[in-house]
Structure 1
Amino acid sequence: MSRLLGVIDAATVMGGLQDLTLNRSVASIPFAGRYRFIDFVLSNMVNSGVDSVAIFPKHQYRSLMDHIGSGKNWDLDRKRDGLFFFPPNFEPNETTSIGSFSRLEQHIEFFKRSHQDYVVIASSYVIANIDFEEALAEHLIHDYDITEVQHNGKSLEIYVISKALLIELIEGRRSSQFISVSDVVKQPLHNFKIGAYDHKDYTAIIDSIPAYLNHSMDLLRHDVWSRLFTQDRPIYTKVKDEPPTKYSSTAQVSNSMIANGADIRGSVENSIVSRAAKIGKGSKVKNCVVMQKSHIGNDCSLEYVILDKDVRVLDGTSLKGTAEQPLVLRKGSVREAAMVKS
């Protein structure tokens, strides 16, 4: 029986990702062709033996609920423990920092009824493959009050804490003035013993559009992919039945990830193409992320462009961003070639 209770704080608001969060939460941003951000931390918990996970969203969480469903794809659809989804009550000026006590307090009975003695509270925008059992072991060996998971000294906003202390902090939030677990860790004036667990393997903190594109491109490197997606600690996601990818005789693909159901008739280089996306004949797509069901017409040229879901790029359109400032085409938008005045 697991000693850890999982909490995913999906209430994060990232201004740098605004173009991708107009219709969804940060946790449900598509990544790596067939995954969502939340798949990584949720899979990390399941692979660490966590069999009870609570998700606390705040904004635009319909797509997140649709993706997670009953938790079946993570083996969390069970009678005892399993997956819990706790939409928030409205509270003005509530913090979005990780482990908000006011947000957790709305469901305090969940924590009191849980049989686990320790809690791992995690953000949803970190892409990594972390063993939380190792983090708990570090926590217990050093008798920390709160252990912060870090990578190269930088906080991943993932914390291990005893359930008893968490409940104490939640119930005492008005007198202590602490607003979240993150706040306790960052405040210098208290008597809590704060420690760190260093996750040494590949880690991506995605808090901006350039970071999203650059870390997406990281996945095209075999050394990164093989460290993130391992056989013994797989990353799970919602299963969709799609036909195989279709490559026409005019298709040219190099150093790219192409998901099931895609239709490739043009050239794709250093790019990630999601399920059911289409790239027309004569089109050139380079250093791009093409999300689900987006259609690129014939004779187009795209470089350093992120196409959200259901985008249409009409025939003959040329679009170019840079690695430092990628061009984002918002969900459901249509782009066409600029008219040339005579």
Structure 2
Amino acid sequence: MKKQLLGVIDAATYHEDLEQLLLHRPVAALPFAGRYRLIDFILSSMVNSGISNVAIFPKSGYRSLMDHIGSGKNWDLNRKRDGLFLFPASPSDADKESGIGCFSHYAENLDFFYRSSQEYTLISNSFTVINTDFNRLLEQHIGCGCDLTEVYKNGRPLDVYLLKTSLLIDLIENRAETGYTCIKDVFEDLSSPYTVCRYEYEGYAKRVETIQGYYKTSMELLDSRVWNTLFKKSQPVFTKVKDEPPSRYYPESSVKRSLIANGCQLKGKIENSIISRGITIGKGSIIRNSVIMQKCQIGENCVLDSVILDKDVKVESGTILIGSPGNPIVYSKGSVVGPAEAPAKTLMIL
């Protein structure tokens, strides 16, 4: 049964509420959990479910996504038969209607679906943090005689859909006659001729669509129960491999209830935070309840609480940034923050 699924990841969705973190990347490439990107979770779930043919459909600004996934080697998808495919939207398609499973985007690459040998297609967004075996979904779909199945978590849709590849091709080719612009339209049409089913997922799953959602989901990873549910030895989450030295903890450093990635130089105190690769934290600095992305530099005697720093942010010595769990302070990639400008900039972001 594992060979019956074709994987399709929609990476074209843009979330305005994540704008500060999406200035240089699509949501699929948003760093998460210290060393991963959001797309790693759904892509790894597909691979762990035996899916060996995966297509990713981005719209624009996908250079960082291409750099991350490369040939798909880290997911064992660099194959001569099937493998990993990237199908960006053409410039003429950029302003058309969009949604998860956009048919006009798929229509430009219809040959891919015709060439695929898998009987069923799994369509998913790229921003759901999940680690699951999709074969259980396929078993229910077949057993219940469904035409289309949508995955839910606690009564809320996860934007994950399952249908026969032949039906998907029909929906793409006949979109002008039916008026369906994306897969979601089919589920919302109460008069559609298809048997529509719901699959309630019981494991951990969170859609990351806002700054607050990104921050809250990141902080949940510090709960060992959540971490062990999401990161399973039997179903590893794969990501791009980067060879970096272990992090260095200086005698004056202190780390409590935090995730620390490789390549860091740590001289300050870190509590309840996620520290990504290549971070430098100066002597006397205190980092609490924060998410610090790759290659940030934090000077000496700084205080950061409830802060999200995008990649390559430089925080000068003596800077104090205090946010709140419901409204974290966010600095975009490459920002430079000093003691004098921090209060004004903080107010602007809040």
Query: Shorter-chain TM-score category?
Result: over 0.9
Report the RMSD for the aligned CA atoms in angstroms.
Answer: 1.1
Q: Deviations over 1:213-266 (max 9, x none)?
A: 111010000000000000111100000000001000110110000000011100
TM-score, scaled relative to structure 2: 0.96
Report the TM-score, using the length of structure 1 for normalisation: 0.98
2:250 pairs with 1:237: no
Greater alpha carbon shift after TM alignment, 185-194 vs 305-314: 185-194
Letter in 1 for 2:166: A
Instruction: Give the letter aligned to residue 189 of structure 2.
Output: Q
Partner in structure 2 of residue 74 of structure 1: 75
State the AA in 2 paired with 1:138: Q
Q: Is 2:20 the partner of 1:23? A: no
* CA positional deviation for 1:9: 0.3
**Which has the higher mean CA deviation after the structures are superposed, 141-150 or 89-98?**
89-98
One-letter amino acid matched to 1:233: Q
| Identity among equivalent pairs (%) | 49
Q: Would you say 1:274 and 2:276 are equivalent positions?
A: yes
Partner SS for 1:2: helix
Residue 323 of structure 1 deviates from its aligned partner by 1.1
Shift in alpha-carbon separation, 1:191–1:61, aligned structure 2, 3 A: same
Provide, for residues 143-168 of structure 1, a one-character-per-residue CA deviation record: whole Å limited to 9, x for no partner.
Answer: 11110011111100000010010000
Aligned equivalent of 2:347: none
Distance 1:178 1:135 in 2: 24
Whether the 8 Å CA contact 2:59–2:94 is kept in 1: the answer is no
1:11 to 2:24 alignment = no
Q: For 2:209, what is the secondary structure of its paired residue?
A: coil
Which residue does 1:264 correspond to in 2? 266
2:308 is matched with which residue? 306
Number of residue equivalences: 340
> What is the CA–CA distance in structure 2 between the aligned matches of 1:284 and 1:335, rounded to whole Å?
16
Contact 2:292 2:308 in 1 (8 A): yes
Q: Determine the structure 2 residue equivalent to 1:50.
A: 51
State the partner residue of 1:324: 326
What's the secondary structure of 2:3's corresponding residue? coil
Corresponding residue for residue 157 of structure 2: 155
Paired residues of 1:13 and 1:96 also in contact (CA < 8 A):
no
Residue 39 of structure 1 aligns to a residue whose secondary structure is helix
How far residue 92 of structure 1 moved from its aligned partner, in angstroms, is 5.1
Partners in 2 of 1:213 and 1:118 — Cα distance?
Answer: 35
Cα distance, 1:50–1:339 mapped onto 2, change above 3 Å: closer
Counterpart selection for 1:98 from 91, 94, 100:
100
CA distance in 2, matches of 1:289, 1:243: 21
- What is the CA–CA distance in structure 2 between the aligned matches of 1:330 and 1:135, rounded to whole Å? 38
1:154-193 matches, within 5 Å, as 154-193=156-195
Instruction: Give the drift of 1:339.
Output: 6.5
Residue 189 of structure 1 deviates from its aligned partner by: 2.4
Contact 2:297 2:313 in 1 (8 A): yes
**Alignment partners' CA distance in 2, 1:107 and 1:162:** 17
Specify the alignment match of 2:39 in structure 1: 38
Distance of 1:283 and 1:34 partners within structure 2: 23
- The CA deviation at 1:304 is 0.6
Distance 1:96 1:263 in 2: 43
Structure 2 portions without partners, runs of 5+:
343-350
Alpha carbons of 1:92 and 1:81: their partners in 2 closer, same or farther (altered >3 Å)?
Answer: closer
Q: 1:176 to 1:254 in 2, by over 3 A?
A: same
